[in-house]
Chain A
Amino acid sequence: MQFKRRDFIVDASFTAPAPGITALFGRSGAGKSTLMQLLAGLEKPDAGTVELDGVRLYDSAGGIDVPAQARRIGYVFQDLRLFPHLNVDGNLSYGLRRAGRATPRIPVARVVELLGLAMLLQRRTWQLSGGERQRVALGRALLAQPRLLLLDEPLSAIDAARRSDLLPYFERLRDELALPMILVTHRFDDVVRLATHVVLLEAGRVLAQGDLPAVSLRSELGALLGPDGVGAVVEGRVESVDAAAGLAAVRVGAGRVLVPMESLRAGERVRMQLLARDLILATAPPQGLSVRNQLQGIVTGLQREAPHNVLVSVDAGGVALLARVTEAAVRDLQLHNGQELWVLVKAASLRSQRM
């Protein structure tokens, strides 16, 4: 769809799979929030179409424009927008009463339990802490029985300590409600933690989109993240845990990666980012190192990075990885396409996210 206001242009086309969380990722001013407003029907595209579950919500050519109040698209605004004249209970039931269903698909009791709102129902909204306000806004949007939930920087208003309190709520929503969600964020760790699908935006245009591991290899993402943020996102399954050692073994492609166990259990699917700067390449299987993880792979690409670095693409048993080494290292090891090598990564440098 296309949208233009003065010199600001959004011209984007993307698909969000359902269920799952699609992250719109980009710098501020990239048009993320505008895209959300176009989806919700709060702004009107100049041209294009918006479709949800195969139903046209907007079609400039066909003259279709379903009003926002009839789209059933939940919206958690960056500034939350709780109603100050209603208490928490009144806020929560606002959308529910207008959803027009005798038996809601997402019932009140479930949302109250899922978001831990039981103690807050009679409070006024200004008596809530930042995290509580966030949960109420989320609950209010959910109870309107949406078919799609839009989350605009849902964690931006919250300090770092509270973020980790709140993230599990989003994970529970993702896992338990099977509700498609679109998440706007400018933090890549939120993307890695929550999203299954990513759309990269810059200056109102889509740079890349696809599932997270694929997009994580794109150089366009690297440009957004900066050199220290570049790294392949890989997904795998926890094969076993060694509680005594505090390590979990994760099957990633043909290889196995040891990661800090944290709260992981065998059988769970996890996702992690292997930062390019953390990976070490070796042309022979090394010995006598503290490094826990050695993955065998083949060089599939070499890309020069300013000023004297090279980003090496490696296929490690069906899993694509990125490793940053110096030009000098490439020369000394005579790295070239198709070369077999070992990728080393410290278990302690990894953080895995449950999917």
Chain B
Amino acid sequence: MSDAEFEALDLSLQVALRSVICSLPLAIAVAWLLTRRRFSGRALLDAFVHLPMVLPPVMIGYVLLLLFGVRGPIGHWLYQHFGIRTAFTTGGAALATAVMAFPLMVRTIRVSLENVDRGLEEAARTLGAGPIDRFLSVTLPLMAPGILAGAVTAFVASLGEFGAVITFAGNVPGQTRTLPIALYSALQTPDGGTEAARIALLSFALGLVGLFAAELLARGLRQRLGR
């Protein structure tokens, strides 16, 4: 494995990790809103969250560019107040993968929340637990297998995100050139065939290990819950 390939692997893992860690709390909050709250605009939020699943990734990248680019409303504000640039940075790659993996994460977490027995929350109530206490001490632990599954699936999916990343974050070696982008670059290079094959194999192995690890972890957690 060449240094460039190792760099791409390391970067992919970093981007995926940052994307999952930052979007997980939001995904839990959105899943909770969609499952437990009845409010006007709920259907709209539901549709909005799922948009990245049905839209072309390149378009998501383009929209992010419009919003988070240095001249976009959010990007401009971030740069002015905090000096933060997102477009064409590692952080930007993480943002793009997070948006793409978000629906996947929300869906998995939502299912786990729907499976939480409301009766257990009622029991916690009669034992003196207020709403936040209840959520942290009963709901969240019971959702744990689903949250974990959602996070790992999103992580593995993030490793492979291409279109949104290359559109929003570009193809900067060591900054935004993740495994799929490195694979694409290799294919664009004459004599890049063996390198492309190695990256493809690496991605394949990574995905497999990730999904396998997720299954093992979820099984362990479910066992603790006696299911």
Contacts and interface: CB of A to CB of B under 8 A. Distances in A.
| A and B associate in one complex | yes
Interface of A: 40-42, 67-75, 77, 79, 81, 83-85, 94-95, 98-100, 124-127, 140-141, 144
B125 A95 contact: no
Given A79-B119, A81-B117, A81-B122, 9 more contacts: A74-B126, A84-B120, A85-B138, A85-B142, A95-B127, A98-B128, A98-B129, A98-B133, A124-B224
Contacts of A100: 128
A73 B122 CA distance: 12
Contacts of A72: 128
Interface string B110-149: 0000000101101111111110011001100110100000
B127 A84 contact: no
Given A42-B125, A69-B125, A94-B137, A85 B224 contact: yes
Which 3 A-B pairs have CB atoms at the shortest separation, nearest pair first? A126-B226, A95-B127, A98-B128
A81 B138 contact: no
A16 to B, nearest CB: 17
B226 A73 contact: no
Contacts of B127: 69, 94-95, 98, 140-141, 144
Contacts of A75: 123, 126
B53 interface: no
A99 B226 contact: no
A41 B225 CA distance: 28
B197 to A, nearest CB: 45
A126 B124 CA distance: 18
In this complex, the member of B125, B126, B138, B226 whose beta carbon has the largest number of chain A beta carbons within 10 angstroms is: B126
Contacts of B142: 84-85
A144 B127 CA distance: 6
B122 A42 contact: yes
A81 B123 contact: yes
A77 B123 contact: yes
Contacts of B119: 77, 79, 81
10 contacts: A69-B129, A77-B122, A83-B123, A83-B138, A85-B144, A94-B137, A124-B226, A125-B226, A140-B127, A141-B126
Contacts of B120: 81, 83-84
A69 B130 contact: yes
Nearest to B128: A98
A144 B128 CA distance: 7
Nearest to A94: B127
Contacts of A141: 126-127
Contacts of B124: 83, 94
Contacts of A79: 119
Given A81-B119, A85-B141, A68 B125 contact: yes
A99 B128 contact: yes
Contacts of B225: 84-85
Contacts of B134: 69
Nearest to B130: A69
B186 to A, nearest CB: 47
A2 to B, nearest CB: 22
B58 to A, nearest CB: 43
A125 B154 CA distance: 32
Contacts of B133: 98
B137 to A, nearest CB: 7
Contacts of B137: 94
A147 B225 CA distance: 31
A69 B121 CA distance: 11
Interface centre among A83, A98, A144 (most CB of B within 10 A): A83
A144 B224 contact: no
Contacts of A84: 120, 142, 225-227
Contacts of A126: 226
Contacts of B144: 85
B180 to A, nearest CB: 38
